[in-house]
Structure 1
Amino acid sequence: MKTSFTISIYLFCTTLFVLSFVNMYSKEQLINLILKYAFLLMLINIVFICLLPDLTRSFDFRYGNVYKGLFLQKNALGKYAVLCFFMSAWALLFLKKNNFLNIITIFFSIICIILSKSSGAAFIFMISLVLLSLFKIGFPKKTIISIMMVSFLTVFYFILSPPKIIQYLLEDLLNRDLTYTGRVYIWDITKKAIMQRPFSGYGINAFWSSEYYKEVNSKYIAFNPTHSHDGFLDIILSVGIVGLLLYILWGLILLRMCMNLSKYNYSFALLCFGIYFLILLNNIMETDLIYPYSMFYPLQIIVFFLVSYLRKEENLLEKSI
């Protein structure tokens, strides 16, 4: 389809740009640029929310007035704010420079999370606090990574197939919607579509394109969600099971590099793992893994190259000893 071809070209160009970008800077420069980007992103959103409240606000039938900032939805503001908070809090704890900038970013990030009223962002924010606490205490990298990945798989399972006790907690005690605001219906359509083309997929973002919606999906759903609201399902839908396996392999390589780094690169290795883990966690409910319109896609590439830089530094250090 035309939409899939266009997005594929855009994704390819984005990848080339990021690859050329990361090769222009050192590890320290990349981290400083990311931290400055986080500050500017939160600052601009706060300024626009203050100056243009009507344009940056929307109504949610559950929470009333919510803020989306410069993004199309409140969840986007929430998820970016959590990531900005995590990176700036890490820098405050471990880099111990540009503290004022990081403190302001943390403050603005927390305000954006609160204003977005995104329950998903609030949950990931709490997980980020746990991660930072484990980092600061000095738990072994392998222990932290193992605990977090087991937690991720557990959350993934409980959301897709919640046991009775979880259903009771969500519905009766927390008054939550077990369809996750309609995501369950989208997942049902996605799973049926995957069964028809499990290996080839439909092309990047082709299944949720306006053309395909008019032809097929309009019979089953009253709106076009633009993606599957699950990054892993969306990969299978786009490029098939083979594509998902290749992505998992890439992710395992990244995690292995993080685990194998020495104490010399402890804090930087955990920063890279933390960013990647929070992106994975976000993709249980959203789509950002291979999605050209999200900053989470290029950020994954940057994280991979940061870990590669760390490995090179470590190898050079070992040779010099």
Structure 2
Amino acid sequence: MIISKLSSKLFFVCLGLFLALFRVYLIPYTTFKALSFMILLVYLFLFGHNKKVLYHSRYALLLAGIIFFTTVYASRNLVGLFNGSLYGLQFFVVFLFTNHMVYKYGIRQCIKNYLQCSLLLTALMDISVLLNMDLDPSHYQNLITYLFGNKFMVAYLHMITLGFLGAYWYIEKNKISLNHKIGYIVYGIFSIFMSGYAKCSTGVIGNFVVLILVIMPLNIKIKDFFRKPGNMFIILLIGNAMLLGGGLILEIPGVKYLIVNILHEDLTLTGRFWIYGQLRDVISSNLWFGHGYNSDTMTKLIGYGNAQNGILQYVLDCGVIGVFIFLLNWFHCLKTAKNTGHIVWPIYGLIYAFIISSLVEVSFKIPFLMALSLLLSIGVSTTEYKSNINMEIREKHSMG
């Protein structure tokens, strides 16, 4: 009963974080930003005292700092100061709180509560999609806005839920049982369906990638290859180079067939190559520090949209320095998680899904950071917090 009460309390604490990070479109944007800022400040005050947790979140703090600086530097007004503070808090508190959860309550409890929260938000989002709720009559960027965002957020919520669910089962059983695998496949197919229903081709591919990488019986050597930081960054680099360097990736017959015959998209990727062509001058005008995080630079230039690429968006928003720190934090998370074994393989699958999505969308935002924060925290837990994890395992066996 005590554990149940604790789990319930932690669920609501985690839910508070999720609601501060995922915009609720039922309330005005300015109201949401004010509430989010206050909630994140409270979380920073409550969970920012542990020196170990702060130390292991140091690169996230550096990333939050550059997000704050570039936003303030680009705007140089009070609105920019507030926005920079809010975005910096969002980036840092994700890592701080996840580290705190794993440090104090263990891996299993953290992933369980994150899974519960993502399931709840995903279910509410799906209801809003199926009811065809449109909470933004202006149709900003020609997209329908549901409870927590547009079609891309529908996809990303399903992707992180698939990743968290797979990770929770891996930790519980060290492998997914047959019954779990069947249920997981069913939910994965539903996630793909919901992405398609929301008309998000990127989400269809992203959810498919998570599903396949989690259920496929991959050899340990193959998993080790994909878990290595260097290999992951090489894949990220090759993917971007092949797409941005003349669209070479689209010349691959299988990719071309997927885009044209299955996703029913055109080979210009809905005008993305034209957008990429416009970015050179925009980026070069503020090469080092960018135009500020979450800026509307592309909207002002062409009337809608963004950089349509995860890495390019960071260059546009935060400059070369911001991208370097973003990749540095990412590398730190991967390096720290290298000794976690394969219990967190579903989180790696989730990250690869975001990498693929990022080639044509701005996918490296809060959902992606949540995946990175879990890798970092679980990696730290295998060394720094080992006594805590061993205690968690003993308690679990004593209850069983």
TM bucket normalised to smaller: 0.7 to 0.9
- Residue 228 (str. 1) matches residue 307 (str. 2): yes
Which string of whole-angstrom CA distances, capped at 9 and with x for unpartnered residues, describes residues 250-299 of structure 1?
Answer: 2222222233x0xxx3233424433333333322222243x5xx443454
The secondary structure found in structure 1 opposite 2:266 is coil
Q: Residue in 2 aligned with 1:202?
A: 291
1:297 and 1:257 mapped to 2: Cα distance?
A: 15
- Residue 176 (str. 1) matches residue 265 (str. 2): yes
Q: Quick one: structure 1 residues 18 and 73, their matched pair in 2 at CA, closer, same or farther if it must change by over 3 Å?
A: closer
Q: Quick one: structure 1 residues 283 and 172, their matched pair in 2 at CA, closer, same or farther if it must change by over 3 Å?
A: closer
Aligned partner letter, 1:256: K
Q: Residue in 2 aligned with 1:62?
A: none
2:232 and 2:145 mapped to 1: Cα distance?
A: 29
Aligned partner letter, 1:127: V
Q: How does the TM-score come out when normalised to structure 1? A: 0.73
Deviates more, 1:180-189 or 1:31-40: 180-189
Q: Residue in 2 aligned with 1:38?
A: 118
* Unaligned runs of at least 5 residues, structure 2: 1-74, 138-142, 391-400
Q: Quick one: structure 1 residues 191 and 7, their matched pair in 2 at CA, closer, same or farther if it must change by over 3 Å?
A: farther
How large is the RMSD of aligned CA atoms in angstroms?
3.8
- Residues paired across the two proteins, number: 292
Q: Residue in 2 aligned with 1:122?
A: 204
Q: Residue in 1 aligned with 2:352?
A: 277
1:129 and 1:273 mapped to 2: Cα distance?
A: 12
Listed as ranges, the matches of 1:34-113 within 5 Å are 34-50=114-130, 52-53=131-132, 55=134, 69-96=146-173, 106=188, 108-113=190-195
Aligned partner letter, 2:319: G
Residues 205 and 357 of structure 2 are in contact (CA less than 8 Å); yes or no, is this contact kept in structure 1?
no
* Unaligned runs of at least 5 residues, structure 1: 59-65
Q: How does the TM-score come out when normalised to structure 2? A: 0.60
Q: Residue in 1 aligned with 2:94?
A: 18
1:36 and 1:194 mapped to 2: Cα distance?
A: 40
TM-superposed deviation, 1:137: 4.7
TM-superposed deviation, 1:148: 5.6
Q: Quick one: structure 1 residues 87 and 239, their matched pair in 2 at CA, closer, same or farther if it must change by over 3 Å?
A: same
Match of 1:158 among 242, 247, 259: 242
1:238 and 1:305 mapped to 2: Cα distance?
A: 27
Q: Residue in 1 aligned with 2:334?
A: 255
Aligned partner letter, 2:214: L
Residues 207 and 237 of structure 1 are in contact (CA less than 8 Å); yes or no, is this contact kept in structure 2?
no
TM-superposed deviation, 1:153: 3.6
Aligned partner letter, 2:241: Y
TM-superposed deviation, 1:308: 1.9
Aligned partner letter, 2:373: I
Residues 258 and 272 of structure 1 are in contact (CA less than 8 Å); yes or no, is this contact kept in structure 2?
no
**More helix per residue: 1 or 2?**
2
Percent of residue pairs identical? 17
Residues 195 and 203 of structure 2 are in contact (CA less than 8 Å); yes or no, is this contact kept in structure 1?
yes
Which string of whole-angstrom CA distances, capped at 9 and with x for unpartnered residues, describes residues 161-197 of structure 1?
Answer: 3237338936776653233222223322222211222
2:386 and 2:217 mapped to 1: Cα distance?
A: 20
Aligned partner letter, 1:235: Y
- Residue 190 (str. 1) matches residue 279 (str. 2): yes
1:129 and 1:302 mapped to 2: Cα distance?
A: 19
1:302 and 1:89 mapped to 2: Cα distance?
A: 13
Residues 38 and 105 of structure 1 are in contact (CA less than 8 Å); yes or no, is this contact kept in structure 2?
no
1:246 and 1:72 mapped to 2: Cα distance?
A: 27
Aligned partner letter, 2:128: F
TM-superposed deviation, 1:10: 0.9
The secondary structure found in structure 1 opposite 2:289 is coil
TM-superposed deviation, 1:32: 0.7
